[in-house]
Each structure stands twice: as C-alpha cells, then as structure tokens.
Chains A and B, each alone.
Chain A
Amino acid sequence: MCERKNPFRRRAAPRPTGTQGPGLLRRRSLFARGRRPRKGRGEGGAADGNPPPREDAAGPVGGAQGAPGVLAASGQHGSGGAAAEGGALRPGRGAGGPGGRGAAGAHGLLASSVAVVAEFGRIAVEFLRRGSNPKVYEGAARKLSVSSDTVQHGVEGLTYLLTESSKLMISELDFQDSVFVLGFSEELNKLLLQLYLDNRKEIRTILSELSPDLPSYHSLEWRLDVQLASRSLRQQIKPSVTIKLHLNQNGDHNTKVLQTDPATLLHLVQQLEQALEEMKTNHCRRVVRNIK
C-alpha cells in the first residue's frame, strides 16, 4: 500500500470540513442539502445537512459535484450555484458545473442499469485502493456510449459517497436515508448499501493512512555483539546490543541502526513495560469505556 495514488493524497487543498456529524447523528441524510434553502453559490457538493463544505477542496468535492450531479442529479453544483430547492432532486441543471454537463444523461443511465452501477462501484473501490486510472473511464465510456467525463463523474460521485460514509461510519439506516433522497430504485439503493457495507472497513484503513504522520514502527531486529579490541585498547570485553529499527513514514521505509549496552537495555525494557501497564490501569480503562 505504499505507492497508493489516492486521489485525495494528490490534492493539497483542505477537505470539506463541515461534514461531521450532528446531522448524521440525528439521522439526516448525506444529501440533506437538497431539502434546505441554500446559502448561495460556491457551496456545492454533497454533505450532511449542516454547514456545507468549502468548495476549494478538489478531490472529494470534485466528487461531490459529481455525486449530486450524476447520481442524484440534484440542482446543487458549486460553480453552477443554483439555489437549493426543497424536496425532490432533479436532473442537473447547473450547466456550468462540471457535474452538470453529463448529469442529465448520467442520471438516466445510472438509474436504469444496476449492473452499470455495480461496475462503477467496483471501479470506485479499486481506485480507492490503487489510485485513479483514466484509461478505465475510456473503456467504460465507449461501452455505454457516453462521454468519458460522465463516467468519470459517476465514479467520482460513488467514491465520494463511499468515503464520506466510511469516514463517518454511519449506520445502515442512515445510509439508506441518505441514498433514499437521490430517488433511485429500490434495487439500486440496496446495491449501494451492500457496496458500502462490504467495503467500509477497508476504506477506513485507507483513510487512516491520510492522517498526520509520525514515523510509525514497523519491525525491529537485534544482535548481541561483544567488542574484543579497538585501535586504542586491546583485550576488551564489551557487550553491546545492536538494534535495527524499521520505521514507516508516508509509505517510505526507513531503517535506523542503533546500539545500546545491556544496562540501558534493561532500563528501556522496564520503561516500555511500564508504558504497556498504563493501558491496563483503571483510569485508562474508564476513558476507553466511556468515550464511544
């Protein structure tokens, strides 16, 4: 998983922030935006009902533009700036938005073919694992006789849907509610739910790699040496432990070779054992139990 070309990783722009939960905790849909009056343009992208995310983020919001545009074909496109309308979402109107262009066609397309959506879902997950590959869009576009842009938006929309749901770890019911507002067929909704449930663990693992990273432990090798002589002193007996520490940072593998003497080693072991013991104290147990 080292060379992951995650679309999110490429972008330096901040992610949409207003996406966490009170809305979801109260079981509102991911696409609840469609139901409320909007604040204005530049606030596109699907999110939960609360303050909409900033538009500057590229990846997920690009996908977000795609998501409503393609999957739900809502009227909300950041650049299109169409004001929200309550209730049912309509085929994309904001022709300015990138999602808008293929939206109408894609909506009809996706709504009608569950198999197509299944395929797109598979592609989306594959892209999350390995990074996007534009060639796949070409192939799919040709088969479905639509523009590859449409395919791209469809896949990006699905990606966004999956990552947001996995990130927030929403329950099945919440997911169903969210997807329900998109106005798809029952079969399609079930398919999307299954896609979410099957892949969320893996997606969460992938997302956890995006957090601010300190070098993390990978493995450790050790060797016991005895120094017998040196240039400045003959006939010595000096035991020492040589340690090769393998660390990971941002996918790079780093090794450090270090040395220590037996007394320090004992001290290190004592300290680290204490560290482990801490986790078992009452205080820590209480914290773990109560923060859920």
Chain B
Amino acid sequence: IMCASAKYNTRGPALIPRMKTKHRIYYITLFSIVLLGLIATGMFQFWPHSIESSSDWTVEKRSVHDVPVVKLPADSPIPERGDLSCRMHTCFDVYRCGFNPKNKIKVYIYSLKKYVDEYGTLVSNTISREYNELLTAISDSEFYTDDVNRACLFVPSIDVLNQNALRIKETAQALAQLSRWDRGTNHLLFNMLPGGPPDYNTALDVPRDRALLAGGGFSTWTYRQGYDVSIPVYSPLSGEVDLPERGPGPRRYFILSSQMALHPEYHLELEALQAENGESVLILDKCTNLSDGVPAVRKRCYKNQVFDYPQVLQESTFCVVLRGARLGQAVLSDVLQAGCVPVIIADSYILPFSEVLDWKRASVVIPEEKMPEMYSILQSIPQRQIEEMQRQARWFWEAYFRSMKAIALATLQIINDRIYPYAAISYEEWNDPPAVKWSSVSNPLFLPLIPPQSQGFTAVVLTYDRVESLFRVITEVSKVPSLSKLLVVWNNQNKNPPEDSLWPKIRVPLKVVRTAENKLSNRFFPYDEIETEAVLAIDDDIIMLTSDELQFGYEVWREFPDRLVGYPGRLHLWDHEMNKWKYESEWTNEVSMVLTGAAFYHKYFNYLYTYKMPGDIKNWVDAHMNCEDIAMNFLVANVTGKSVIKVTPRKKFKCPECTAIDGLSLDQTHMVERSECINKFASVFGTMPLKVVEHRADPVLYKDDFPEKLKSFPNIGSL
C-alpha cells in the first residue's frame, strides 16, 4: 500500500551485521566499479551542454506580445451561464484527481494565447501583472503539472480578474475553445472584480458553465458553498508599501474610515458617529487640492489635514470596510496589513476564504442596519481581545492576502482539502498565527476520560543483569491488584535471561523482551505486548515501593491519564550566575519532573518518544546512556502543557538515577550531567516546557486522624 504512514516495528532496530573485508576479488570488483564510475563521470563532464542552454534561452526570452494569436469566429460556441446548483459531487470530475500518496491535486495551466475577434480586435488585455504572478506561483508550486492528461484542475491563462477589462461574450467563446474545456468541468477561473454597471452582479458575468470560480465579492446568493472559493480583492499597494507590523495596543483613533466614494448615506451615518463621539472617529476622504505629481491613491484628507495612505490605517484600532458598488473591497487587504481590526459592513458578503478562516477572530461583522450602534458594539469588546484581533488581522494578511502567490496557493489548498478531506489542513494550521502556534499546545489526549480501573496497567522493567534484584521487584510489583501484565526488557545482549523455571511465579503473565542493542530508549518502546493504556516504568532496583503506593499511583494516573505520575520528584532551576538551567534533587518544595525509575504514564507517550521525539534527543540519550527520564518529562510536558503529578511522600530511594552512590564527587558529576541534559533539551525544544508545581497527590485520608484499617491505602509513606 502506498501509505506514507509509519509502520510499527515490533522490535527495536536490528543490528547491522558488521561486514568483514574479504580478499582480492572484492577489491577488484570495487576497483572496476570505481573505474566505470569515473569513465561515466568523465563522459558526462565533457558532453556538449548546448541543447540545454539553447532551449532555455529561447523560452526565457519571450515577451507576452509574441504569443500565438487565436481568432474567434463570431459563431463559435458560448458556454452556458454558470450553474448555481453546481456542487463538487455534481459538476466536478473527481476521477481526474485520482488517489495519490501525496494527496496533492495536479494543476495544469493552459499556455498563453492572444484572442482576437473576427475583425482582429483584441478580446481583452493579454494578461495583467497580477494574473501573471498568480500563474507563475501556481507553476512554481507543488500542485503544478505540465502533463495535461494527469491534471485534475485546469487553469486557463485567459485573464478574467477584472470583468471591466474584457469583452464578456468573446471571453466566453475563448474559454469554450480551450482544448479540455468540456463544459468547464474542473476548470478554475480567478476573478476579483465581478459585475459592472448597472446591476453589479456579485459573480463574474462571463458564461462559464460548470467552471469553479475563485471570486472576490461573492454574496450569499451567488456563492456556491463548497464549490466556489471566495478570495480577497488584491491590493497592489501591498507590493509597493512596506508597513512594518505594529505591536498590538491602543491607537490614536478608535474608528477610522478611509474609503473614497462612499455612498452619501453611509457617509452621513459615519458623520453622525463622529458628531457623537468626537475625535476618536476619523473619516477620511479624497484630497481635493493635492499638488501635481502626488498620487491621489496614497493620500487621504480630513478637512485640511492630509494623511498618508495606507500608513494612517496603523493609527486606528478599528477600520471600517464598507461595501461599495461591489461587495469585495481592496481596502480590506490594506486594513489587515496595517493590523487594524476590520469592521465589515456589507450585508450578505462572503468573506475571503471563509471556508477555512475563522473571521470572528480577526474582524467584527456588523449588519448595515446596525451602523448607528457601531461605536457601542466596538466598545464592548475587551481590550485583550482587540489586541488578539489586531495580531490575527495582520497574520491573515501575511498568510493569505499579501501577494497573488498567497491568494493562489490558499485557493488551491482549499480545493485540495475538499478532494482529500482526510489529509486536510487543520483549523489551527489555517488560523493560528505563528506566535500562538508556538505558545499553545494541543494535547493529543484531550478528551477527559477516566480509564476503567479494570483495565489495569503493564509494568515494564528495564534490566541489564541484576537478576536477583529484578526478581525481587517482580515479586513486589506482582502484589499490586491492578497489575495486568509484567514485561521485562532484557537489555543485555551478551547474556541470556535466566531460564523460565527460575523466574518468580506470579499471578499475571510475564513476558521477556530481548533487545538488539543496549539502549536506554528500549525502555520507552511501544511494545505490542503492552496491551493496557497505563504503563508503569520501573527500574530493576526499585523494591521500596509498597503495593498500596503502587496501586494508589495507578489510581492517580487514572485521574490524570495524560500526565506522568511518578514517585521521586525532581526540579529544574534557573541558575542566574551561570545563566543556564540547573538540575535539583534536594528536598524542595516544588517539583517539575518525576523520575521514570518508577512512574505511570500513557502508552501513547511511548509512541511519541520512539517516533516523534524532536531533534536528535533520542540518539543523544542513547549515546550518553543518561537522561532518558528527563527527555520523557520534556516530551510529555511539551505536548500536553501540563505538570507532572508526584505521588506519596518522599521516601528513601537508593538514588535511583545514580550509577554509584558513594562519594560526593561522583554525585556532583551526575548533577552536572543531568543539568547538561536539561540545557540541551531546552535548546532542542526551543523552550522550557516543564511546569513547576508545589503539590503532590496523597490519598484523601492520608495522615488524617482516622482508623487506618478503614483507609483505602493505609500503607503509604513508610520509610
């Protein structure tokens, strides 16, 4: 099967057998291969490169005026008008897209032609700068194919961005004669300025039959949900003006209107708002007395004051985006770029990319009828939310408005997501600005579930050769009522595990897994033998935990199945002198880690540790033979954003993390090493995910003045 998904290895990676060098034949073979390689290289080196360069030059050096001319006879067919009932399942030929492992649609672009009518007059301008940019972006993207037979989507090179710049009937005829037109099936047209006087239709008037329309300015009556794509009206100012992002926060004006040629009725409403609320409302209009040479589009005026546009937009918290003759307005793009929160007043308007973008997070939509209440509506929005909307507005611009490339790729991605819904881009990827993506977590175990107690847990004991101690651990752990299986990970390749008959007889199944290499990460491998959600990782020398303590640990884990629940706790601290993190194992009032020498956690984290550990941490841990537990703590905290739970009082652990306990110096090296780990991991994760807390979990009646025999877990905390 063509899936790219990771297949599970049931065992750790196998050892590659070391090759042994063998004699002459081997050398001779190698030698001849080398020789052949050299000859081949040489041949290619000196091969004439002329074909490549010549073809390259001719193509690159073409002008749009040199493209072939196509004459359209007056009676050439005209497609049907757009079909309002079209949906993906009725008008789109999905068989063309096929099933492919990358889940990417293939897009073909027709080559550029110049269309003239019978009399030789041009049908439209050959191509606009923006449409050329858009097609270039598509052809440079992963979606592009040059093979018309493999294509799933066809993009004509006939430029229909602006309906006013073309002749409707003839353009339709030009579309109809495209080689794969077939009633417009799977054809995608891009249009930003639809309609024209007198009725200003909200969708492109060119008859286009079943073609999909990526249009700016759809209304809810012309937009075919799930078929068309609503796109922004590109503002060419975005390319010209560099507005650096302005930090969120209060700005000079509260509401600003910058559109020219607003309908007088809207103007009156705005003026009424201004009269009521004074200087916090600024209404700009066209400048009447500008000196020559100053482009009118870059200036706005209020009475005699002249403002730079679009810079002035950054001076306001909210910017009004009113409908004009059309619903889609280029000013929306300018407003977003300025990080000003758009107040959209255009009834029935389908916002750009509304299929995937959550506009409620970046804008305020106000019905036209409610314009007089605009001020109070906007004032009711909490400041913190305004700041987020400002950031969100800017992010929408950066990701989806700033260039024709951004618009083109977002459009194709939306169509792609419809065809391969199971590989669709998530809401978060579309909507979360990078800062949020960075600081937020999406817990993979987000559903609040308390797993049934009956399932029990699997104890995984990592051992090397301390058989005697291992057997004691097994015997102790087997007394825990909820234990359902015991798995011994035999990490010693040079020695066989003891014979079956020598193992302690326990009431639950006991499995021994032999590993291929002595690696610490073997402890966290998601073995198929682990059938429960809960895993108890336990070292082969942890014999001091009572059955009550282990059972209680399991009960606590059930209440916090997405956390590490462990016994000995540790802490990380910021060392101000050294300016780095420090590991702390003293008796502290806080914990941020638990040692995995004895800890419960969800099996899912084994899967994460083995397959999704960021950077080189996994190898680093295996190479240093240390800190696998710190790595696990980092991983879980990073993915869940939650702290660990330390259970039960501290007891005398035989320094479970040290290899040798005697001697202060050894202990100190150990601490240094562990500190190094923390610093290393923090740099790989790019952040410090560990959370510090001051609590630990005890049974409800722990140390309460109450008969011990009535307590569920009486035997807790004995040293």
Is A bound to B? no
Contact surface of A with B, Cβ cutoff 8 Å: none
Contact surface of B with A, Cβ cutoff 8 Å: none
